[in-house]
Structure formats: structure tokens, C-alpha cells
Structure 1
Amino acid sequence: MSERQTVSFTQMKDGTKEDYDLLERLEKPYLSLTADRVMDELRRQGEVSLEGYRITRLDHGLQSASRALREGADIDWVVGTLLHDIGDGLAPQNHDRFSAEVIRPFVRWDVAWVVEHHGIFQMLYYGHHYGWDRNARDQFKDHPCFESCAAFCERWDQASFDPDYVAEPLATFEPMVREVFARTAYDPAVIREGEVTGLPPL
């Protein structure tokens, strides 16, 4: 067994260029496995779910993404939709923002914005049952992605808790997940800051 390579420092401020070159080199294989970790988390969501729902979190993601795919959405929308609740396991109180950070380096900015804000937009459907403001999303009414997020929630998210819906299997989406996470992080040609594509028309 080869000896494990480590940096020389115990405080980051004391690191040398050689230390940071080593870290950069060792990080590359780890970064290349991001899609594997995402797929593992999706599978885990099929085994452990929040109580009360009639389907698992994986089923919900698959249903949502299947609706997007079947309506002709592009790869950014499909993968963003599949992963819109990927943060549920570690960040149930702010899963929308957590999920958005997972995909943000690799998808268009409007897709990441929609995933980041879908939680507050979803309150339209149930907030009043808890005494919350179901129209809290209106604070974003002038944002260019408002209509996209409203449509995302109506067409793909809130409708996808149906145990009788026949969704595509995870294998359908795995090549798309791998393609998206193989992109160069924060590539301006991918992010397309300020451009709003919107959902495909019905």
C-alpha cells in the first residue's frame, strides 16, 4: 500500500504552493465522482422517506422529472426537476436552497433560481392550512423567473405525489445527471446569467 500524501500545514495560512498543488491534484478524482454521489443520494431517497406521503422522495423526483421530460423540457430543466428535493435528507428546513446549491454550478441560472425558490412558491397550495401566508411568493412577482417557478410548481412539483403515476425509471435520467455534472463548473456558456428560458409551452 502506498503512503498517504498529505499537506505540510496545520493551519491553511501556512500552506505552500506545493501543498495547494497537491490538494488540487487529489481533489480532481473526488470532483469527478460528484454524479455518483448524487445518484447514491437519489437511491437513498427511495429507501428512506418522510412519514405520511404515499410515495417516496425518489418517486416524487422521478414523477416530477418524468413530467418535465414528457413535456419536452431540456436537460437542465429535467435534471433540475429530478434533483429539486435532493436536499431533503440533510436540510429538511431549507431543502430548496440546499438543492439549488447542488446543481447551481452546472445548470442555467434560471433553473437554479426556480429550485432555490420552489419551497415558498409551493406554499400557495398548503400554507393556509398552517396559518401561513400562501401568497408569500408574491414578494418575487417582479422577478424574471416568477412565472417559471409558478409553472414548475403547478405542472411538475405539486402534481407529482401520485402512487398511480407511471414514471420513468431512474436509469432513464442517469445519463442526463452524468452529462450535467461532467460540465465545467460555473461555465458562463452554461449558466447564461440573466437569460430566462421558461418551461416548454403546453
Structure 2
Amino acid sequence: MAQTVSFTAMKDGTREDYELLERLEKPFLALTADRVLDELRRAGEVTLEGYKITRLHHGLQSGTRALREGADIDWVVGALLHDVGDGLAPQNHDRMSAEVIRPFVRWEVSWVVEHHGIFQTLYYGHHYGWDRNARDRYRDHPLFDTCANFCERWDQSSFDPDYPTEPLETFEPMVREVFGRKAYDPGVIREGEVTGLPPL
């Protein structure tokens, strides 16, 4: 019989209850990378409406561009997963995607993923009557140029069905390494530190 807690309201839980939950949660946490990879595979079954490629192909192409430019593992995984939230949260996929990676990558990578949506409007916002320069509200942020470069080099350019893109298997070990890190490790997060994208 499965072990369960004694409470029906969290406020009534005992130390033993919460120690049990912590122990039982460990295998689930250990499978985070598997769930992320499964979500990417599901994205391969959905062609972006009106686009020439699938959501998976867009992520793979972004990750491939980052990899080929010599980006480190945090940037490669960030580029690969920058739209991973699109399937469940298309209206705020940038923030959802950032929350998926935030516990495991440098602060600058999660910030860029969180804000790439508004930076991307530079390329198309005017066609909808939107402010294509809405990103300028972040003009004084230390990651403004990094996010602009991320979008220019790895996001907006990654809708090409003919680009020689690496398969998911290339990135799987990197995803497993990143999601195998201790969550919110200050040595990984490095809050406030800006290294930027690799130079071209």
C-alpha cells in the first residue's frame, strides 16, 4: 500500500508528513529532464500555424545556431527551450519557458528567455499596429543588448526548413546535465552577472 500523509489540509501536516513527501518527490524531480524532452518531442508533432517548420524544429534550429557559434551549455539549452512553454501558454510562452529553466541556468539566460517575446516584436509588431519598439522599456537594463542579440542571431532567424539542424539527440545530454543540477544553486545562477553571448 502506498504511503500517504496524515493530513487533508496542508496546515495540519507534521514534520514526518513533510519528510515523507520530500523523500517521495525525489524520483519525480530526477525525471524533470525526461519530461522536458517529452515536451520537445510533442512540439515536433505540431507545425507552427502558417510557418514552414514545427515547434521542435524551431527550438532545434535555435539551439543549433547557438551551439555552432560556440555558446556555452546554458545558452544552448536556453536557445533550445526558449519556446518550450508555447504548447500550454501561447500568450505568455516566454515567461513560462523561463520558469522551466530558471532553477538550473544562469540568471542572464532565464532573463533573456523571459523577455524574448517583447524583443521579437521588433520584427513584426508594426504589421499588427503594435509598438515594434516596446522592448525599449528595457533599454537601460544590463541585458538589453544580450536579449536583442539572442533574438537576432538565434530566434528570428530560425524558421528555415533548409537550415542543417542538429537532431534532438545532440542536445539530450546537455538537457540532462542542466536539469541534473541542484535547483537554484547560487554558483550556477550567478545573479546579476552578465557574460553575454559569444562574439561573432
Range into which the TM-score falls when normalised by the shorter chain: over 0.9
**Aligned AA (1:163):** P
Deviation of 1:176 (Å): 0.2
Deviation of 1:48 (Å): 1.9
Give the one of 100, 105, 108 matched to 1:110. Answer: 108
The superposition leaves residues 11-70 of structure 1 with CA deviations (integer Å, 9 ceiling, x where unpaired) of: 000001111010000000000000000000000000123321100000000000000000
The superposition leaves residues 66-106 of structure 1 with CA deviations (integer Å, 9 ceiling, x where unpaired) of: 00000000000000000000000110000000000000000
2:136 aligns with: 138
| CA distance in 2 between partners of 1:83 and 1:170 (Å) | 11
Aligned residues with identical type, % of pairs: 83
Give the one of 186, 189, 193 matched to 1:188. Answer: 186
| CA distance in 2 between partners of 1:69 and 1:27 (Å) | 33
Asked if residue 57 in structure 1 is aligned to residue 55 in structure 2, the reply is yes
Correspondences of 1:29-178 after superposition (within 5 Å): 29-178=27-176
The superposition leaves residues 162-193 of structure 1 with CA deviations (integer Å, 9 ceiling, x where unpaired) of: 01101011000000000000000000000000
* Equivalent position SS for 1:73: coil
The superposition leaves residues 130-161 of structure 1 with CA deviations (integer Å, 9 ceiling, x where unpaired) of: 00000000000000000000000000000000
**Aligned AA (1:40):** D
| CA distance in 1 between partners of 2:57 and 2:157 (Å) | 12
**Aligned AA (2:51):** Y
**Aligned AA (1:132):** W
Q: Extract unaligned runs of 5+ from structure 2.
A: none
Deviation of 1:4 (Å): 1.1
Asked if residue 17 in structure 1 is aligned to residue 30 in structure 2, the reply is no
| CA distance in 1 between partners of 2:107 and 2:47 (Å) | 29
| CA distance in 2 between partners of 1:20 and 1:65 (Å) | 39
**Aligned AA (2:160):** D
Could you say what the CA RMSD is over the residues aligned between the two structures, in angstroms?
0.5
* Equivalent position SS for 1:196: coil
Runs of 4+ in 1 over 6 A off after TM superposition: none
| CA distance in 1 between partners of 2:55 and 2:148 (Å) | 21
Q: Extract unaligned runs of 5+ from structure 1.
A: none
